[in-house]
Structure 1
């Protein structure tokens, strides 16, 4: 373990073996840090925060500070961060609120690039990439393997599905279904995230079935309930198809739609 002389670490902080705390870091509160996690310099960790193993925090990042929510009254909410995450410069991760379950959670092996913001009560899975200056409002769920492009803003209570990709400089007011590509100032769907699905080693047969389901759900003129029934009837059940159907069916905010023109979708190789 190494703690630089200029760092401030309060007595109640619990540090695992091999933790590195660099110059001018401040760790103050009911904090637990797992084995091998490194805070390079000028990092601030506050409040009731649990950080797992082998995470890397770059300068001026912070976690566990109070949320930017006018309803917050100092309740003892938490931040929980898993293992092997990379938190780049000036990333901010805020603690939860009473109205959102008192918890902000980040899973494992995520990359949060410089200037990203994770607001109160967000729940991030694992292997997620948030590019520079992507910003999450409160109560957002991001499922495993999703990619959020730089300078993207996501509305509160939105859910981002597994292995989906949101293009840079997008505004996302509704849920993004799993396995798709979304983009735009007010984002639309533009087909499947084909490269992401291939990198995740989904089989060609599974990708073909997802293409068919996408066409029924988002490119046909059927009402949503009829489209979901048609997918269930015509496309064999499987983990990915079942997850897509359940995600759309249970969406609280409603899911993004495809644009009326298909020019960009053709470019994506979807049709």
Structure 2
């Protein structure tokens, strides 16, 4: 029996439940973005939770996506997930008004950094979709997205060079409405999109970066990501293929569509 005058003796399960409750209720010190006490703090506090118990509890909540660890800094309550709402984000009334796709999803959307534009030989499946010959170059637009200081998405868009030469699509800043607005100015407004979404473990390159590019800095190998391949069509022609890798713990994917199978 526990001593009623002393601290409750927690198990990993009971302490995880207590921390989970505090986070979900937004208790003081457990609001989104708050830094959690250290294992030593938990052990020396009134709760007197053993370091091993606290460590297992925090590991459990980290696996649930409620807590994130930052190298050399500690553990933090994870901010709310980023909504990614389709198909509204791709509607012409969004980018046609000069607004970004990301701005549709949130009032505080992730920001594109490390934008790199140049000619590359694309992956074979991209070349096939764009209708270019194997070995031919296309325009590549690479972006890394961050929310606050946290990387949340890597994205590379590929477009045929005959649609990009001499346009702002070749610039790091494509202007109001982005790439789709620039395509529309050429009479190639996207009229249909296809997205393929799979969940998988992140690769080491996606976690740590490659070729001088930073990665998603995920907590460990085996962390899950959403891999999204988006095809943009103007009529029957595929005018862009975008390959995206999203931190699965940072996003929620929301799809809205009518029951009759049409486009909402």
- Specify if TM > 0.5: no
Q: TM-score, normalised by structure 1?
A: 0.23
Q: TM-score, normalised by structure 2?
A: 0.24
**Higher normalized helix content (fraction of residues):** 2
